[in-house]
Amino acid sequence: MGYQLQVTAGGLTAIDVHVHLHRLDDGEGAGEAPNPAFNAARQKFHVQGPSPTLEETVAYFRERRMAAVIFNVDSETATGRRGVTGAQIVEAASRYPDVLIPFASVDPWKGRMAIEEAERLIAAGVRGFKFHPPGQAFYPNDRRFYPLYEVIAAAKLPALFHTGQTAIGASAARGGGMRMKYANPIYLDDLAVDFPDMPIIMAHPSFPWQDEALAVAVHKPQVYIDLSGWSPRYFPPQLVHYANTLLKEKVLYGSDYPLLTPDRWMQDFEQAPFRDEVRPLILKENAARLLGLPT
Task: Tell whether omega for the bond before 273 is within 30 degrees of 0, i.e. cis.
Answer: no
> What is this structure's pTM?
0.93
Query: pLDDT of 280-291, one tens digit each?
Result: 999 999 999 999
% of the chain residues with pLDDT over 90: 81
Residue 193: exposure state from Cβ atoms within 10 A (0-12, 13-18, ≥19)? exposed
Go through the domains of the chain in sequence order and give each one's CATH number. Answer: 17-291 (3.20.20.140)
| Cα distance between residue 156 and residue 208, in whole Å | 30
Q: Given a cut of 50, is residue 31 above it in pLDDT?
A: no
Q: Are strands 128-131 and 66-71 parallel, antiparallel or unpaired?
A: unpaired
Tens digit of pLDDT for each residue in 71-101?
A: 999 999 998 887 899 999 999 999 999 999 9
Cβ–Cβ under 8 Å, residues 20 and 162: no
Question: Lowest-pLDDT range, 68-82, 139-153, 161-175?
Answer: 161-175
